[in-house]
Each structure stands twice: as structure tokens, then as C-alpha cells.
Amino acid sequence: MAPMSKDPNPAAGWWYNTRTGEVEHGELSRSIDRLGPYPDEATARRALEIARERTRAADRADADWDSED
């Protein structure tokens, strides 16, 4: 897949494409389809797991905040 932009200095990093389920190096796809950037390919492959962990942590923080009365 060709890069989306012709930026001579594209952002470094690894991305997880939510539409294709593939890991990409550099900005190859539309930003709406990507999670990242991640520092390496292995971390990008865990993108959905990382997102779930962050969501659970935010939900716990919200619940804790709501119960502080």
C-alpha cells in the first residue's frame, strides 16, 4: 500500500489498522483506521489488547470518581 502523504519526514512508528487487522510501519492508511503509533511491531500487534486495558482502567477511574461522595 502506498503512503497516504508525500511527507519527506513521515512520523516514525508502528500502527495497527483496525479495518484490515494488519500492522503497518509508517502512516500507510487513513488515520481513522489506525491505532498508534507504537514503538515497535510487537506492541502494535497488541493494540486491541492495550485499548481494552486502557478502557477498563478509565472505567474504573470513572467509577471511583463517581463514588467519592
Query: How many residues in total does the chain contain?
Result: 69
Distance CA 51, CA 12 (A): 20
Taking residues 4-19, report their average pLDDT.
Answer: 76
CB 36 within 8 A of CB 52: no
pLDDT digits (tens, 9 = 90+) for 20-59: 999 999 878 999 999 999 999 999 999 999 999 999 999 9
The model's confidence at residue 8, banded by pLDDT at 50, 70 and 90, is: low
- pLDDT at residue 12, as a whole number: 77
Distance CA 34, CA 50 (A): 14
The model's confidence at residue 7, banded by pLDDT at 50, 70 and 90, is: low
C-alpha separations of 37 from 1, 32, 34, 41, 59 in Å: 18, 13, 8, 10, 23
Distance CA 59, CA 34 (A): 23
| Domain range list for the chain | 14-66
